[in-house]
Structure 1
Amino acid sequence: MSTASATMQWSETIHIDDLWEGDMAPVEADGVKVLLVNIDGEVKAYQNRCPHQAWALDEGDFDGESLTCLRHMWTFDAASGKGINPDDSCLNGYPCEVGDDGIIRVDVS
């Protein structure tokens, strides 16, 4: 791990083999509900709730590039968390990494 990684408060979640490219998975890290997405092999972690009315994003759709909330169809760029519709919204993201052992770790502190 790098020096920056050593200062993070990593919580282990799932193995990368359980999160295929173009897939999403709800997990919990230190009591926080997190949504993991795999975009072409790059894992991103977001708070598992839409900023509009806090609906769980894992109930929505992930097409490999964008996340859409099921309740009101708010859409977000999965790579950046920035809003597409509406474009002035943003997901709360968390640092994450895939360890040498394949475990996805998230820092929600």
Structure 2
Amino acid sequence: MTTVRWRDTINLDDLWEGDMTAVSVDGESVLLVNVDGSVRAYANQCPHQASALDQGDLDGETLTCATHLWEFNALTGLGINPNDAALKSYGCQVGDDGTIYVDIGR
């Protein structure tokens, strides 16, 4: 049985809608994205060649890696182009005080 370990990161006030940022959680680089008020957390690396996704672009629900222009759905983490790829996702929740919590599974 896996124990959930929520780690506090930043406040929602620091991650505007349509924005993304990288944070460190237990030494792991995590990408936080805010799509229309829905916050998601992913490993901050493209599954193609591990490029940092925070260097890419977030346009609506589409997250594009800057290195080779791979595209992902920012709400699901599923690949758009190519469609057989996916981002590694982490548990994410926003507390009553606006703190964004992430569980990377360690």
Percent identity over the alignment? Answer: 61
Contact 1:38 1:64 in 2 (8 A): no
Q: Which deviations, in whole Å up to 9, do the C-alpha atoms of 1:23-48 show, x marking residues without a partner? A: 00110111110000001101000000
Q: TM-score, normalised by structure 2?
A: 0.95
* Superposed counterparts of 1:22-101, under 5 Å: 22-101=18-97
Letter of the aligned partner of 2:59 in structure 1? D
Structure 1 residue runs of 5 or longer lacking an equivalent are: 1-6
- Return the offset for 1:8: 1.7
Matched length: 103
Q: Tell me the distance in 2 between the aligned counterparts of 1:64 and 1:17.
A: 19
What stretches of structure 2 of length at least 5 have no aligned partner?
none
Counting strand residues as a fraction of each chain, which structure ranks higher?
2
SS at the partner of 2:13?
helix
Which aligned segments of 4 or more residues in structure 1 are displaced greater than 4 angstroms? Answer: none
